[in-house]
Structure 1
Amino acid sequence: MGVVVVTYASASTVEACLFRLLAARDVARVIVIDNASPDDTAARVQHMAQRDPRLSLVRNDDNRGFAAACNQGATAVAQPWVAFVNPDAYVERDTLSRLVAHAVSRAGAGLLGVELVNEEGEVDLASRRADPSLRDQLSGLGRRENLYLGADPALKLQPVEAVSGAVMLLPTGLYVRLGGMDEGYRLHAEDLDLCRRVREAGYEVVVANDLRVTHVRGVSSRSRPVWVEWQKHRGLWRYFSKFEARETPGWLRPVLWCGVWMHFALASLRAGWRARSGRAAAPLQ
């Protein structure tokens, strides 16, 4: 299989991620697309690439966005399977090979994810997700509990509506047929969009409940919290416009639009405050 890793300011985790990928079974190629990292992420990747010909680095002159970089990397994959792995996700030696085996054994499986956990072993609820709905968010006063699906212990492969984009596996041919990820998303919701289009094409989206991957969340995003919030809300509105707007009464659309951007304002204030508090609490070097 081929693996695509998109990096931006990922110096603190990228070497650990790539070390594990290059040690993984059945990984024939790892392609890193660096979106103009301001730190030494690319230099670290290049140093590793000099020691392993399976690893290659493409450095973009600007930040093209996650979806565009994923598509850029996927064009270089000649293997029948393509995996997308975040630079802060740490796979085990047999994680991806077992995921491929699951895919082969499951007729109709189009996109597969895994259970993600943080460094303390706590399960990331985004591992198993339902499609987001702005209308449901409005009626539920912003509560998101219904977006997250628990694990079904009776199922090794659990059908869901969406998985987290931190680790995803697809047949390369299906990814190409779907046109890859929607490059209109810069960051966030592109994975939800892809999962939905996989299902609309007649395939299943499933989570391998017997596979766990440690995910150190948000490493690339910590330096730009307000920008990240902007992209989250922009992506949510794009998703709504593609999949939900047609079924939404005309009078309700501006209400939802106002709700999204009011929520962005509040979320940005919280994110900015957390970032300032974190800097203030950081020890002197």
Structure 2
Amino acid sequence: MTTSISRPGIPPAVSIIVVSADSGTSLRECARRGLACTMPLQFILIDNDSQDGMPQAIAQEHAGDTRLTVIYNGANLGFGPAINRAARQADGDALLILNPDCLLENDTLQRLLDHLQRTPKVGLLGAIVHDEQGVADPASFRRDPLVARALRTFFGRAGEGVNIDGPVPDRLVQAEAVSGALMLMPRGVFEHLGGFDEAYFLHCEDLDICRRVRDAGHGVWLAGDVRVLHGKGTSSRHRPIFVSWHKHRGMWRWFRKFDPLARNPLLASVVWMGIWAHFLAKIPAQWWRLRKKRRLSQASPA
């Protein structure tokens, strides 16, 4: 089901697409900040069967705002499939894929679009996403997660890892991959690639599309001079084992598609076992933290 408010005659410069799945109060602020931007835009909120009532509350709060479209999926389709569905209703020449816990400033969109328009052959543009203390997320600027790199990162060994060491850039630079919390793409590039690979449900689809952008001859760039506040997903905290399952499943799919080691059946088997052993090893701590959180919630006064 879609709640769509008629849009004005002026075409938007950018369509902001946000996927929600019990995203909590951060979603409300994300929508408020996005709709507070003064440039022509379209804001598409696509909901993966949230039970917290937040998408409906946002639709009511912004009733009459012609820039807002709310789509109710009625089921959790996954991140990539929801983005692809929303993109089919997008009017903007550019698509800004934004996490529901990312908060835009008024000039953020214009600065990103300026970079997009001035940079030749750009297929995807990211920004520095950071926490409330201003600490940049390492995922803002990273390399393809090839197994050799992932192992160096995991064990803290010297050499080229997934994350790029040193201070984050403060200027526009090319990257292999940027954070999926904020990705700006020309709509033509997105459509040419066929959007996100819908075989990913959650996690690693951002790494996949960065790689496919580059393989198609376009550039992936990081706007190091643009910083965006990024919280941690509420839905992930509610369902840590569910999220971890899909994250590890996404790792395996990315490896099979892009890592040269996947061509060796023996090495591929070792990687498969390593991925799922890592998933199983994380379950006890995740289950314990979730159980403790529920106990504290039940013990707290109403």
Is the shorter-chain TM-score for this pair beyond 0.5, marking a shared fold? Answer: yes
The equivalent position to 2:117 in structure 1, one of 104, 113, 118, is: 104
The equivalent position to 1:268 in structure 2, one of 277, 283, 292, is: 283
Tell me, which stretches of 5 or more residues in structure 2 are unaligned?
1-13
Q: Is the partner of 2:16 in helix, strand or coil?
A: strand
| 2:154 counterpart letter in structure 1 | G
- Off by >4 Å, runs of 4+ in structure 1: 150-155
* Matched residues, number: 284
The 1:45–1:263 alpha-carbon spacing in structure 2 relative to 1, beyond 3 Å, is same
Return the alpha-carbon distance in structure 2 between the equivalents of residues 112 and 141 of structure 1: 24
The 1:243–1:132 alpha-carbon spacing in structure 2 relative to 1, beyond 3 Å, is same
1:143, distance to aligned residue in structure 2 (A): 3.2
Return the alpha-carbon distance in structure 2 between the equivalents of residues 141 and 180 of structure 1: 29
Which digits, 9 at most, give the CA deviation of each residue in 1:11-64, with x for residues without a partner? 311111011101113242111110000111221222134131111101011100
| Correspondence for 2:154 | 142
The equivalent position to 1:212 in structure 2, one of 213, 227, 233, is: 227
| 2:102 counterpart letter in structure 1 | A
TM-score normalised to the size of structure 2? 0.88
Counterparts of 1:7-22 in structure 2, within 5 Å, are: 7-22=20-35
Return the alpha-carbon distance in structure 1 between the equivalents of residues 176 and 210 of structure 2: 7
Return the alpha-carbon distance in structure 2 between the equivalents of residues 225 and 202 of structure 1: 36
In the alignment, structure 1 residue 66 sits paired with structure 2 residue 79 = yes
| Correspondence for 2:171 | 156
The equivalent position to 1:249 in structure 2, one of 244, 249, 264, is: 264
The 1:279–1:144 alpha-carbon spacing in structure 2 relative to 1, beyond 3 Å, is farther
In angstroms, what is the RMSD of aligned CA positions? Answer: 1.9
Return the alpha-carbon distance in structure 2 between the equivalents of residues 154 and 39 of structure 1: 38
Tell me, which stretches of 5 or more residues in structure 1 are unaligned?
none
> Please, which moves more after superposition, 18-27 or 275-284?
275-284
Return the alpha-carbon distance in structure 2 between the equivalents of residues 187 and 121 of structure 1: 26
Which digits, 9 at most, give the CA deviation of each residue in 1:172-197, with x for residues without a partner? 01100000000100000000000000
1:246, distance to aligned residue in structure 2 (A): 6.3
Which digits, 9 at most, give the CA deviation of each residue in 1:114-161, with x for residues without a partner? 1011122211111111101234435x4833782112466776111111
Return the alpha-carbon distance in structure 2 between the equivalents of residues 266 and 120 of structure 1: 30
Q: Is the 8 A contact 1:21 1:27 kept in 2?
A: no
Return the alpha-carbon distance in structure 2 between the equivalents of residues 134 and 198 of structure 1: 21
| 1:56 counterpart letter in structure 2 | T
The equivalent position to 2:200 in structure 1, one of 185, 202, 205, is: 185
* Matched-pair identity in %: 39
Return the alpha-carbon distance in structure 1 between the equivalents of residues 293 and 146 of structure 2: 32
TM-score normalised to the size of structure 1? 0.94
